Amino acid sequence: MRLGLAAWGLRELAHEEKFALAAKLGVKLLEISISGHPDDFLQQDAGEAEIRATRRLAEKYGIDLFPACTGNDFTLAGDLEPQIKTVERAIGTAAGIGSGVLRIFAGFTSDSEMDEERISALLDALKRIRKTAEKCGVTPALETHGGVAPGSAPGTVRHFAGVSTRIDTLDRILQTGVSLLYDPANLNAAGVHEPEKFFLRYSSRVADVHLKDFRAVPGGLVPCACGQGGLDWKKLMHALKDYSGPALIEYELPGDVERGMRESLDFLRSCGA
């Protein structure tokens, strides 16, 4: 695997600070968020100036911009056209900065609310996204991610199952031709208690990986560095032993993101990554 930094924990850093941190930590991969957060440098209206600036930073710091990510929800009820347009614009920007993979979502609605009409609309949206991405030379990688809600104690969260954390609906999703971003911590938090088996089932479709952990506390879950939470890392790393693609550390707490990223890197390297 090729280790790097995922975008979410870096959301409070300035654009250049993200590149500088990746270089400081000695990794070459940096996931760039495209209109996934209000503070992103690359927004929906990003043009040639922003694209050139991003590519210059990659060259300056020796960073490979292989993965990118955006935010969307195709599980919403009603017209999905605005969501589709958001992702299509992000695909164009990802191609412009040289990213071969764009992380997308299925959505965050509970699986219990997804009737056949909404699932069909989701699948149609993904087919359209895949066609657009093919024309741009970008691989859309759908993250295994359920829904998230506040826990019962301050600072905690709870995760629940969604269409991309269930094998029956994920099998249908992958029939659209999109690839997969495998996130074992999300799966585990949503009730998949042996997420390494998920990887083994879908390994041929995995284009990207996010690595993080959650720790159970009274009232819910809190994000933590790799190796400090509930995942069985021995089983997980064994499952990933032949994976050679990007594996991005998604330490989620921006307040101490450098420490969390460094501790995660040290742990993963101690596991042979």
Task: Check whether 101 has a pLDDT greater than 90.
Answer: yes
> What tokens were used for 91?
């695909």
pLDDT in tens, 138-163: 999 999 999 999 999 999 999 999 99
> How far apart are alpha carbons 18 and 9 in whole angstroms?
10
| Side chain identity at residue 62, one-letter code | G
User: Angle at CA 63, nearest 5°, toward 57 and 65?
Assistant: 90
Does domain 2-270 fall under CATH 3.30.70.920? My reply is no
| Side chain identity at residue 143, one-letter code | E
pLDDT in tens, 26-81: 999 999 999 999 999 999 999 999 999 999 999 999 999 879 999 999 999 999 99
> How far apart are alpha carbons 119 and 91 in whole angstroms?
23
CA distances from 256 to 20, 54, 104, 109, 186 (A): 16, 24, 26, 30, 21
> How far apart are alpha carbons 28 and 175 in whole angstroms?
32
| 164 neighbors 106 (Cβ within 8 angstroms) | yes
pLDDT, position 272: 86
| 111 neighbors 147 (Cβ within 8 angstroms) | no
Which residues on adjacent β-strands are paired with residue 182? Answer: 209
